[in-house]
Amino acid sequence: MPGTKIPESVLVVIHTADAQVLLLERADHPGFWQSVTGSKDALDEPSRLTCVREVQEETGLDAEAFSLTDWQVQNQYEIFAHWRHRYPEGVTHNTEYVFGLLLPEPMPVNLAPREHLQYQWLPWEQAAEKCFSWSNAQAIRQLPQRLMLRPV
């Protein structure tokens, strides 16, 4: 039976001013590391609201208490075959909206145990190398430039 997941999602790169990045290990695929991600709950749910909800669900952090920025980047990618059953029949691609969440320092997080096994804070280069998703790695590799452009 086909799923009902909406093929629009967010990617939230949680980071510090010195480019340390939070990565989460997926519970359904141990060894797969990523930033916070998640699909919209409704077609009309604003992407920013999806970010706030997903950050809360996956880390326990309140994204509205920090600097959440829309990076104005959209990625389209083919959904991995082993996850397509979550989507309506015939859906093969997802649109992902990229955001950054700036924290003052690496912070402990409360993982959703059904979603993630563990977390770690890594320098951006190591974080990008560890990500299984090309779009996640690409977003993290943009971090040094984005931090240079950030108003003080």
Supply the pLDDT for residue 1: 72
Residue 130 scores a pLDDT above 80: yes
Residue 18 scores a pLDDT above 80: yes
- In this structure, the chain runs to a length of 152
Is residue 87 helix, strand or coil? coil
Can you name the CATH fold of 8-149? Nucleoside Triphosphate Pyrophosphohydrolase (3.90.79)
The 10 Å Cβ neighbour count of residue 107 is 14
- Whole-number average pLDDT of the chain: 95
**Residue/partner pairs of 141-148 with CB below 8 Å, 24 or more apart:** 142/71, 142/73, 143/13, 143/15, 143/19, 143/21, 143/100, 144/19, 146/71, 146/100, 147/17, 147/19
- Over pLDDT 70: what percentage of the chain? 97
How much is the average pLDDT of 11-29?
97
The 10 Å Cβ neighbour count of residue 43 is 7
Strand 20-26 relative to strand 116-123, pairing: antiparallel
Phi and psi of 89, rounded to 5°? -55, 135
112-128 residue pLDDT tens: 989 999 999 999 999 99
Domain locations in the chain as residue ranges: 8-149
56-84 residue pLDDT tens: 999 999 999 999 999 999 999 999 898 89
Q: Using pLDDT thresholds of 50, 70 and 90, give the confidence band for residue 2.
A: confident
30-39 residue pLDDT tens: 999 999 999 9
Supply the pLDDT for residue 149: 65
